[in-house]
Structure formats: C-alpha cells, structure tokens
Amino acid sequence: MTSPRKSRDPKTLRPATQLVHGGSLRSGFEETSEALFLTQGYLYDTMELAEKRFKGDEPGFIYSRFANPTVAMFEKRMALLEGAEAARATASGMAAVTAALMGQLKAGDHVVAARALFGSCLYVVEELLPRFGVESTLIEGADLDAWRAAVRPNTRTAFLESPTNPTLEIIDIAGVAEIMHDAGATLVVDNVFATPLYQHPLRLGADCVVYSATKHIDGQGRVLGGVILASEKFIADHIHNLLRQTGPSLSPFNAWALLKSLETLTIRVEAQARSAARIADALAAHPAVARTLYPGREDHPQAALARRQMSGGGTMVAFEVAGGKAGAFRMANALSIIGISNNLGDAKSLITHPETTTHQRLKPEQRAALGIGPGMLRLSVGLEDADDLIEDLNQALDKVAAARHRAAE
C-alpha cells in the first residue's frame, strides 16, 4: 500500500513550475492533463445540499455562469503567477477591464485615467461610464503631478496601462498607487504588454490587475479570454457578484486552452523578448526608421523607470517609418513573414498601423498628443527565428528607402 504523495505549497514554487502544476483540480480518474468540464449545471445529492450551495454555506459548483471547474483551475493558476489572493476569469480582456472599473463605481463617482489607452478602454472611460453618471478625467500618465491635480473628493479609482499601447510609454505604477491611496482611491493596471512575467503591479501597489488572456497568455491566436486579479476582499466587494449577475463568463473550453498555453508562457515570452531586443536594435540602425521605441533600450525616454519596475523589455516594438502613412504602408505591405494584424502576443509576428486600426477612432490631435504619428507601426514579435525577422524587416525598409530616393531625384 502506497502513501499519498506529499505536495509542496505552490506559492513557494517558481513561475515556470507554477504554470505547469498550479491550480490543478483532478477528477477521480487522476488525469495528467487538466480536465475539460463542458457542463452548464451540476447535480446535488439532496435538496438540502442544493440549499446550502445557494446560501453559500457549503462550497461547490452551482452553474457555469458563476463558476466552472476548468475555469477555476485557470483562475487559481493565474493568481499564483501574479501573486494575487484571488482571480476571476472573463470572456475577453475588455470584459475584464469593464468589470474591474464598473464594479467599483456608481453614479456621482469620478475616475482618473491615463490618456494613453487602448481605443476600447478609452471608450469605456470616456463614453460608457459617463452614461451612468460617472465622471472621468484623462491626464498625461507619465506626469505624477497631473495625477495629483486630477484627484477630486469623489475620485474612487484610477486606471492605466504600462507600457502603453502603442507607444510603449512607461508609467510609474508605484507613484500613481501612492497618490491614489492617499486620496482613498484604488488603482487598476492593465498589464498586458508587460505580461505577468516582466512586471508585477500588485507588488508595486496596484489594487487590481487586468489582462487580455487573448494575448500572450494564449499566445497562439486561438481563443479569447480575460482575467481580473486582486485581493480576496477586492474581488468579493467589487467583482464577484457583478460577474455572477451579468454573465461575461469565460467558456470552459477557452479556459482549458489557456491552461495548456500557460504551461509554455515563460518559454514563449522569454524567446520573444530576446528577439524583440535584437529587432529593436536592427530597426534603430536602419536609415528608413525615424524613431524606435523599446523599453529595453537605453534610448527609451523612460529607460530608468523601465529598469526599475520591469524585469525585461517585453515582446513589443514601436517604430516610426520615414515617409508617414505612405512609408509605413509600403513597408508593411512588403513584408513576407510578418503578418498584418491588430492582434498581439502571438507566436506569429504581427504588425499593425495604429493610426488606422487600434486608435483610428481618436481625433488627429489626440493621436498627436499620444505620439501616434502616421508613420508609426507596432510590431508584436513572435517565435520565428530573429534573423529571419530582421531580414524581412530590412528588405521591406529598403523598399521605403529606395522609393524616397527615387522621389528625391
């Protein structure tokens, strides 16, 4: 007769191990791969047990809009990786952002947000929240004095992303958190560009972290998903009941796919970041590139802050092609390996033109204020050989340089 295997506290394990073993919930079959529970509802042995479940007197699953075993495994694994007490999964990254903000706010409240936000996040802050009587103020995120000046007596929360989309601006998370806490407000951070591996907003003082799991967490262009991470109290007070009653639920199948992706997250992101650093250097050296932005480079405007709060430069590179929109389009259209897509964090390298895609709804003056010029391209570095990617970028940029030379003749 064998004795049960001893299990080590998963909180003491390193991220790569947590991402393989964390949060596992095995059925009686003792499967090695996480089980996919494609079920809407659950049976109870007795009516008394059903009553206890619904009253919260006994733990267990009730309905998959509320919770599901496969989704719960994903939530636990993400909480371990982030160092959070609790997590709740959602159907998409924008569902996570919306719930993290709306769960805290009511009519008469005020939210402060960095101006440099993804277009859909700007919509939530600028257009959706005001419909429900919540005022918002957009400020220059890198300016701590602007955060201080924007705080009002009714400010309840603040929202930022760092690095920002698409200019990769770095915001001082610890500094903003201190300002908000002094005012009795909370801070929500969208950490998708940094990934859970290279930046830890909760350690820096943030109250809540959100991800589009669609990006690096899946990382293979397959499924949508989102996740909200915070203390148990924050989740209980602001998130749990909102998700339960409104239903932006993560599909169990998507949760299963995300669980399998988490097993390779460290390998994928570290390889992508190594390539991104090399590509940023190559882009900066090409004469058809007017400006290169990468948090791991010393010429990044906030290189010192990036080193202080990030442990790596990440997988994203932004650069400005000479010749404006025409130059950017000519370059992107000439690529043979890198695909044109507004997605990011994929195993395949992807490039997009923010002015006409992700940030097209902004007014020209708003884009100019954010540093999003007509020649800017955002590159999400994938898992291809870095030399192949550099060759692809260089041959496309050579075509831009040649066209400019012809025009000058």
Cβ contact 69:247 at 8 Å: no
Q: Which of 299, 298, 312 is nearest to 381 (CA)?
A: 312
What's at 386, amino acid-wise? A
The residue length of the chain stands at: 409
Options 3.60.15.10, 3.90.1150.10, 3.40.50.10490, 1.20.120.1690; CATH for 266-408 is: 3.90.1150.10
Strand-pair category, 316-321 with 226-230: unpaired
What one-character-per-residue DSSP string does 192-234 give? TTTHHHH--TTTTT-SEEEEETIIIII-SS----EEEEE-HHH
pLDDT at 173: 98
> CATH assignment of 10-262?
3.40.640.10
What per-residue confidence (pLDDT) applies to 404? 81
User: At which residue do the structure tokens 């009553």 appear?
Assistant: 51
Q: Among candidates 16, 21, 187, 169, which has minimal Cα distance to 101?
A: 187
CA angle (197, 199, 201) in 5-degree steps: 125
- The pLDDT score that the predictor gives to residue 7 is 75
Domain ranges in the chain? 10-262, 266-408
- What confidence score (pLDDT) does residue 2 get? 46
CA 299 vs. chain centroid, Å, equals 24
Closest to 96 in 3D by CA, of 251, 211, 230, 204: 211
- CA pair distance 83, 94, nearest whole angstrom: 22
CA pair distance 46, 61, nearest whole angstrom:
14
Cis amide leading into 301 (omega within 30): no
Q: What is the pLDDT of residue 30?
A: 87
- pLDDT tens for the chain, 409 residues: list them: 344 566 788 888 888 899 898 988 888 888 899 999 999 999 999 999 999 999 999 999 999 999 999 999 999 999 999 999 999 999 999 999 999 999 999 999 999 999 999 989 999 999 999 999 999 999 999 999 999 999 999 999 999 999 999 999 999 999 999 999 999 999 999 999 999 999 999 999 999 999 999 999 999 999 999 999 999 999 999 999 999 999 999 999 999 999 999 999 999 999 999 999 999 999 999 999 999 999 999 999 999 999 999 999 999 999 999 999 999 999 999 999 999 999 999 999 999 999 999 898 888 998 988 999 999 999 999 999 999 999 999 999 999 999 887 888 7
pLDDT at position 1, please? 39
Which residues are CB-contacts of 157 (< 8 A; sequence separation ≥ 6)? 101, 104, 105, 109, 111, 112, 180, 185, 186, 187, 188
CB-CB neighbours of 16 under 10 Å: 16
